[in-house]
Amino acid sequence: MLTIRQLSKQFEGSEVLKNINIDITEGTTTAIIGPSGSGKSTLLNCINLLELPSQGTIRLGDHSLTFPTSEKLSHRTILEFRQQTGMVFQGNHLFPHMTALQNIMLGLVTVKKKNKNDALVCAKALLHKVGLDAYGERYPYQLSGGQQQRVGIARAMAMEPRILLFDEPTSALDPELVEEVLEVMKDLKREGMTLFVVTHEMAFAHRVADSVFFMDQGEIIERGSPQEVFSKKDNEKLRYFVSRLSAGLLN
């Protein structure tokens, strides 16, 4: 469903992504792990076209883009491509002046052109899916960090994306709130949603992901099933990274 070939990204002459090649099958969960500054978030931003790659090809469903492009991408082209993805950020990025329901409804009304009644029905169903039926009229400041993040997931799902992209969705949460967000993600996996998750939650990567990619300095240096990646004994960078977060996962 998602194919990335020879993807590179440069910022001011510095190469932050180097020859990335990835194949993602529909209905699978992929975990991207690695130290800070390894290019994980930049990779997500390139997939979602928040950053335009310097070179390479991204194919998502029936849409394919090759960089560098011969002409500037139109807003319509970017929007059509981006609508296939749903993005959940480290910070929830909810609009503070809107209730939880209004945050979810916004894209349904403005992008998908649903009438407000249909958008409200859809938004309520999504709040139910993330376990927040009773919180629709609350503003972000009235929600815990975990609840805000779950609203962010519902908002991303409202666009009916083919793939959900998560950029460290639990990194800003207190430890006791992490599990409630991970449980929603596990439910999405069980329902067959395609998930692409940048995470430092090693237990999630080990137990839930179908495949794991370890990035370092802009490159994917290990890939495979969780069992294959976490049992690597000859990659000192990988073992050091995992041992700092969850040494018990190393085989």
Residue at token pair 């779950």: 150
Q: What are the structure tokens assigned to 69, written together?
A: 């492009």
Phi and psi torsions of 196, nearest 5° = -130, 105
Domain spanning 1-84+162-226: which superfamily? Answer: P-loop containing nucleotide triphosphate hydrolases (3.40.50.300)
Per-residue model confidence (pLDDT) at position 248: 73
Per-residue model confidence (pLDDT) at position 201: 92
Whole-angstrom distance, CA of residue 111 vs CA of residue 86: 13
What are the start and end residues of each CATH 3.40.50.300 domain in the chain? 1-84+162-226
Per-residue model confidence (pLDDT) at position 116: 94
What would you measure as the largest C-alpha separation in the chain, in angstroms? 57
Collapsing DSSP to helix, strand or coil, 215 comes out as strand
Strand partners, 22: 4
Q: What are the structure tokens assigned to 131, written together?
A: 């376990």
**Residue ranges in 49-170 assigned as alpha helix (H):** 75-82, 100-110, 116-129, 145-157
Whole-angstrom distance, CA of residue 84 vs CA of residue 32: 20
Residue 79, number of CB atoms within 10 A of its CB: 11
Whole-angstrom distance, CA of residue 182 vs CA of residue 166: 11
Cis check: omega of the bond before 175, within 30 degrees of 0: no
Give, in degrees to the nearest 5, the angle at Cα 138 between 133 and 142: 115
Give, in degrees to the nearest 5, the angle at Cα 181 between 30 and 143: 145
Asked if residues 223 and 214 have their Cβ atoms less than 8 Å apart, the reply is yes
Q: What is the pLDDT of residues 32-53, one digit of tens each?
A: 999 999 999 999 999 999 999 9
pTM of the model: 0.93
Long-range contacts of 237-241 (CB under 8 A, 24+ apart): 238/214, 241/33, 241/34, 241/35, 241/214
Whole-angstrom distance, CA of residue 203 vs CA of residue 35: 16
Per-residue model confidence (pLDDT) at position 219: 97
Residues in the chain predicted with pLDDT less than 70, given as ranges, are: 92, 247, 251
Estimate to the nearest angstrom the gap between the alpha carbon of 157 and the chain centroid.
12
Asked if residues 149 and 174 have their Cβ atoms less than 8 Å apart, the reply is no
Per-residue model confidence (pLDDT) at position 227: 94
